[in-house]
């Protein structure tokens, strides 16, 4: 049974890539205090969030976890960047 989950953490290792059809997608590592997971951002979602995408941002991601014996990935369906803290 597949269910949607929401996870939060800090973005690191942000990587953009081009699909075979020429569209841009991305992957990043989502870290919290205890774990890391690779997040896949497919082109349609990437186009919506690309302007805010950066390392060291805090984010909430809604999606599905895809896992096998050797690998675990999180397939993003929605991404919400939390506001950056302003100094002062």
- List residues bridging with 6 in a β-sheet: 62
**84: confidence class by pLDDT, cuts 50, 70, 90:** confident
Determine the average pLDDT of the residues in 34-39: 92
**87: confidence class by pLDDT, cuts 50, 70, 90:** low
**72: confidence class by pLDDT, cuts 50, 70, 90:** confident
- E-state strands within the chain: 5-18, 24-31, 36-41, 58-67, 72-81
% of the chain residues with pLDDT over 90? 72
Domains annotated for the chain, with CATH where assigned, are: 5-81 (2.40.50.140)
How many Cβ atoms are within 10 Å of 66's Cβ, its own excluded?
12
> What is the phi-psi region of residue 47: left when phi exceeds 0, alpha when psi lies from -120 to 50, beta otherwise?
alpha
Q: For 2-6, 34-38, 58-62, 75-79, which range has the lowest pLDDT when averaged over its residues?
A: 2-6
């Amino acid at each position: 049974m597949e269910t949607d989950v929401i996870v939060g953490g800090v973005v690191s290792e942000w990587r953009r890539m081009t699909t075979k059809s020429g569209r841009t997608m991305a992957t990043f590592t989502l870290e919290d205090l205890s774990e890391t997971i690779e997040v896949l951002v497919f082109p349609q979602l990437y186009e919506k969030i690309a302007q805010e995408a950066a390392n060291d941002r805090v984010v909430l991601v809604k999606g599905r976890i895809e896992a096998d014996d050797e690998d675990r990935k999180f397939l993003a369906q929605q991404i919400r960047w939390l506001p950056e803290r302003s100094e002062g």
